[in-house]
A and B are shown apart, each in its own frame.
Chain A
């Protein structure tokens, strides 16, 4: 009797505990990271009697957290990947959006620029047409600046995000360390019963942490969880939290890097961070922002350099040689300075300057110039390859023909000194107009040819074109007279004798046979006799074609162009740059820009797909965790009913015991 009273009481107490657990579940139905709990019931130790073992009721052995370590780990991993992709996608979309607007991109202003050049070619003497070109060029430069500014804003956003993310990560690390401490104590106090809610809390903190950065968590025997980031840097060790922080890049102060340590001290771990928002930001900066900045910069460099080169080969309305249409550090004659590392050792006086030599070889990569104690080594950072130099040129620059620039080093280097050469990074921000006066647009070609009006034959000469005269001033200074003679180069060897300029026998004859060359023969003045030996290097690129049948004594002259306000030859050549394959020798400027847009678009598109796919994977992981740990209210309602019944039934048992006892008492009282 007393036995089943206590059995009834055990049922009552167990039902109370089970109901408490159920109501705990119900109350936490919306608590993030909460795992449902279950009061585990077990029979009490039975009484051993002669007649056998009599059951002695129920007992709550423990309150179990419905939990699966694998599911939790999976959710954490996928959370990390998901938030990396999501961040990466969000950032890339911003660039995508920026380039999407047909009116805001580079394409329309580039088009307008070349249209204006054509306008000048149509009507080279028109000042309004020239003014339009100046204005369109200014818009083009402005647009480069605007886009560059948007990119640099994105970079600043990344920097501030990196700083605030490291703050949050440090904060979460501290919270995890605190919970670790609490769990260790709770485990000791409870004699091994799991502190379920603390464990949930820690799992949730870890999950939050993995949104920011990818982490590895290892549980210790004392219940504490050690957390590692990057390639094994400790973030939480038991009850102790470590710190990560940001530091300015040694070469490029505009970008922050992540270090394992407080106050920017410690090893740089940026390259090892793979997941979370932090990983997404760093990936975006490395794979989208910087390559896009460089691509745009390369277009700016290519534009400035090719336009300048052509413009300098023309004559402006004042009859002067064209000046620099655009200005940009790094263009020939205007070396740019490479950024020294802040870690360079004393005396820290070397200066590295560089100049573009060939836009068609220019890449979108950055470079590091490092002194190894004996030699300077240039490394291309996109593939970490050492670039072989093409030797030292006449100006004392070390050339790198494969990369399209040359470098000069001065000062006393110490082993380990390094410099960052980002040839294209800031070009779009630094591009400037070189001319402002419409008269200074060099639309005319520098040379003209004339057939003498006293010529008797029907020989003709084309306008001389100048493509790459190395010393155009020398060429312009000379008036050349070509006189036809049947015996120009000795008896029986017809040709034109050049007089004027540096041309001297025996290299002053253009061999020309009126009988066999009357359909036209072209000449390059650097090699008048056409024997393949360059006799006058300064004249390289001055070419023209003679045709027809000149007669003895016929004279053609080549001289500096003057008063040719209607000459559009150089403007036409400038307009021709629009379709010229400039970048990588295969791509026009405009196509280079569309490639860049399309690259960003493809990257964003791919990220959109991956981040959606990753979201699904994460959802599935959450589902499988929820399947085990999630609270189902219907289930709890059922439990509520079930344990209520247990409680009521146990109470009835007590009533029965009481009734029996009363019966016994009544019997005795009589």
Chain B
């Protein structure tokens, strides 16, 4: 084949240019340390790189999230440890206070200490985290979660939400617990049912009555309400009644329904805490026998029982507790013959008798899954309420305990009331500590979960960085040997060009 002179030059030059282009690429690779300089160098690799970088960045973010969660959970754990210690101290005080050797004075000191502990507890429950948000406010970070309102009650102002942080691609972990779950939603009693002194109603026909009407039975709605202690209701034989508060003021008047003899129903709407809103809306059901005269008057007195020395001792489950809703059961003692046996009767919320029996010391009363130990000697009319456990805030528990200890004890019945209250408080404190332990366990489990997730994330990061490097980074050994080869190639091309183009027959034509 003929080769034209122009072609000889062209071939030489384009081969030099080609070599230079390759050399330049290698040079750029060496300068940047990157194998892939442009997406077109490795389109699949580029897409892989973008995905890897994203997933590395995202995983780093998960690690940051995990750290934030760990910080908050550790702070929470610290607070909970303090709370547990505080409750333990209060429990010790309660146990001491229950001791018969204590005097009114020593008990009042204990009450004072418990009040101080209560303030400290409130402080702990209102702890703020590093960013100034309340730790136990749920997601209401800037609202103080626990406050004592004007009525002296401890109310929770936060919400019941948990904040979850993403610590893994499909793993979200709560970075705290709402205060409601920690301090407020604590079951009282034994966690399933609870008892309280229900108090009773003493009914009397007025001295000057003409007829022979007698009150056979009086009940407040479904159950006795302890707040009613000290109130009295006076009603006449026709249809009107008036309610007197513990200070002797008439706080309500009205008309009742029903006729005597027979059943009447007195509506009650009372504001017992003086905050202007009605706290109690119920009916008092009264059964009158005999024939009252139109102007006859009757009086119902609400009393805080027990009047005897009875106190509720240990309460436990005897199988599965059957709730009686909404009011729970009432356990009432009666002693028709002052020297005879003490009878008891358990009625459900509808007033239907569940069981009756004779009370014996050291023998528990059992019904519908509840087993209740009664200590001391109940008096005629002593009533206790047995209800499904309610939520009682740990603040309320401490407050109740302090109040019980601060109340002077002047007689055996008083001592019994004290023991009853303190026993209940100890039970509630135990439940509160159990609850806090449960929360602590859950916090610990979360910390552990974050720990293992962090470990997984770290492992992934290492592996992803390696993959990234293997896709993106230059193999220097290979690149340098390539550079040498290309340099040699370029030199060869240049020399060849000079040699070949130096040849011309015109050199020999003289």
Give A31-43 as 1s and 0s: 1 = Cβ < 8 Å from B's Cβ atoms: 0000010000000
Q: Nearest Cβ in chain B — how far from A211, in angstroms?
A: 17
B54: which A residues are within 8 A, CB to CB? 107, 110-111, 590, 594
A605: which B residues are within 8 A, CB to CB? 40-43
Q: Nearest Cβ in chain A — how far from B179, in angstroms?
A: 12
Q: Nearest Cβ in chain A — how far from B146, in angstroms?
A: 13
**Are A449 and B6 in contact (CB-based, < 8 A)?**
no
B454: which A residues are within 8 A, CB to CB? none
Give B166-182 as 1s and 0s: 1 = Cβ < 8 Å from A's Cβ atoms: 10010010000000100
Q: Knowing A123-B68, A590-B51, A594-B50 are in contact, say whether A565-B6 is a contact too (CB < 8 A).
A: no
Give B157-193 as 1s and 0s: 1 = Cβ < 8 Å from A's Cβ atoms: 0011101111001001000000010001100000000
Is A126 in contact with chain B by the CB < 8 A criterion?
Answer: yes
A448: which B residues are within 8 A, CB to CB? 139, 159-161
State A582–B388 Cα separation when bound (angstroms): 50
Q: Knowing A564-B139, A572-B172 are in contact, say whether A456-B40 is a contact too (CB < 8 A).
A: no
Q: Nearest Cβ in chain A — how far from B508, in angstroms?
A: 8
B interface size (C-beta, 8 A): 64
**Are A627 and B43 in contact (CB-based, < 8 A)?**
no
**Are A598 and B44 in contact (CB-based, < 8 A)?**
yes
**Are B46 and A594 in contact (CB-based, < 8 A)?**
yes
Is B57 in contact with chain A by the CB < 8 A criterion?
Answer: yes
State A623–B14 Cα separation when bound (angstroms): 13
Q: Quick one: closest A residue to B130, CB to CB?
A: A123
B54-78: which have CB < 8 Å to A?
A: 54, 57-58, 61, 64-65, 68
State A215–B173 Cα separation when bound (angstroms): 69
**Are A96 and B156 in contact (CB-based, < 8 A)?**
no
Q: Quick one: closest A residue to B44, CB to CB?
A: A598
Is B341 in contact with chain A by the CB < 8 A criterion?
Answer: no
State A100–B53 Cα separation when bound (angstroms): 14
Is A566 in contact with chain B by the CB < 8 A criterion?
Answer: yes
Is A641 in contact with chain B by the CB < 8 A criterion?
Answer: yes
Q: Knowing A578-B58, A590-B54, A630-B2 are in contact, say whether A456-B185 is a contact too (CB < 8 A).
A: no
Q: Knowing A29-B5, A122-B165, A604-B38 are in contact, say whether A641-B58 is a contact too (CB < 8 A).
A: no
**Are B5 and A567 in contact (CB-based, < 8 A)?**
no
A245: which B residues are within 8 A, CB to CB? none
**Are A634 and B505 in contact (CB-based, < 8 A)?**
yes
State A30–B7 Cα separation when bound (angstroms): 10
Is B140 in contact with chain A by the CB < 8 A criterion?
Answer: yes
Q: Quick one: closest A residue to B57, CB to CB?
A: A111
Across the interface, A632 reaches (CB within 8 A) one of B2, B10, B37, B139, namely B2
Give A338-364 as 1s and 0s: 1 = Cβ < 8 Å from B's Cβ atoms: 000000000000000000000000000
Most central of A30, A118, A593 by chain B CB within 10 Å: A118
**Are B166 and A572 in contact (CB-based, < 8 A)?**
yes
**Are B5 and A125 in contact (CB-based, < 8 A)?**
no
Q: Nearest Cβ in chain B — how far from A303, in angstroms?
A: 14
State A366–B250 Cα separation when bound (angstroms): 84
B68: which A residues are within 8 A, CB to CB? 122-123
Is A5 in contact with chain B by the CB < 8 A criterion?
Answer: no
B185: which A residues are within 8 A, CB to CB? 451, 453
B390: which A residues are within 8 A, CB to CB? 454, 456
**Are B50 and A626 in contact (CB-based, < 8 A)?**
no
B49: which A residues are within 8 A, CB to CB? 102
**Are B50 and A96 in contact (CB-based, < 8 A)?**
no
**Are B1 and A627 in contact (CB-based, < 8 A)?**
yes
Give A613-634 as 1s and 0s: 1 = Cβ < 8 Å from B's Cβ atoms: 0000001001100111111111
Q: Nearest Cβ in chain A — how far from B148, in angstroms?
A: 16
State A568–B140 Cα separation when bound (angstroms): 11
State A490–B43 Cα separation when bound (angstroms): 66
Is A308 in contact with chain B by the CB < 8 A criterion?
Answer: no
**Are B323 and A115 in contact (CB-based, < 8 A)?**
no
**Are B323 and A568 in contact (CB-based, < 8 A)?**
no
Most central of B47, B68, B169 by chain A CB within 10 Å: B47
State A140–B5 Cα separation when bound (angstroms): 58
State A36–B46 Cα separation when bound (angstroms): 51
Across the interface, A595 reaches (CB within 8 A) one of B6, B47, B61, namely B47
Is A182 in contact with chain B by the CB < 8 A criterion?
Answer: no
Is A597 in contact with chain B by the CB < 8 A criterion?
Answer: yes
A633: which B residues are within 8 A, CB to CB? 5, 504-506
**Are B3 and A627 in contact (CB-based, < 8 A)?**
yes
Is B4 in contact with chain A by the CB < 8 A criterion?
Answer: yes
Q: Nearest Cβ in chain A — how far from B185, in angstroms?
A: 7
Is B138 in contact with chain A by the CB < 8 A criterion?
Answer: yes
Give B361-388 as 1s and 0s: 1 = Cβ < 8 Å from A's Cβ atoms: 0000000000000000000000000011
Q: Knowing A450-B160, A626-B4, A637-B505 are in contact, say whether A100-B38 is a contact too (CB < 8 A).
A: yes
Is B142 in contact with chain A by the CB < 8 A criterion?
Answer: yes
**Are B172 and A590 in contact (CB-based, < 8 A)?**
no
A608: which B residues are within 8 A, CB to CB? 40
Is A45 in contact with chain B by the CB < 8 A criterion?
Answer: no
A525-577: which have CB < 8 Å to B?
A: 551-553, 561, 563-569, 572, 575
State A572–B325 Cα separation when bound (angstroms): 41
A108: which B residues are within 8 A, CB to CB? 53
State A125–B180 Cα separation when bound (angstroms): 21
Q: Knowing A107-B54, A638-B505 are in contact, say whether A97-B38 is a contact too (CB < 8 A).
A: yes
Give me 17 other A-B pairs in contact (C-beta within 8 A), A456-B390, A640-B509 excluded.
Answer: A96-B38, A97-B38, A100-B39, A110-B54, A122-B65, A448-B160, A453-B185, A456-B325, A564-B141, A565-B142, A567-B139, A568-B165, A572-B164, A605-B42, A619-B14, A627-B3, A635-B2
9 cross-chain pairs, A with B, having the tightest CB-CB distances, nearest first? A630-B4, A601-B39, A566-B141, A601-B43, A604-B40, A567-B139, A598-B47, A594-B50, A602-B43
A-B residue pairs in contact (CB < 8 Å), sample of 22: A93-B40, A97-B38, A110-B54, A448-B159, A456-B389, A553-B326, A565-B133, A567-B163, A590-B51, A597-B46, A598-B39, A600-B40, A601-B39, A601-B42, A601-B47, A604-B39, A605-B42, A608-B40, A619-B14, A622-B10, A630-B4, A631-B5
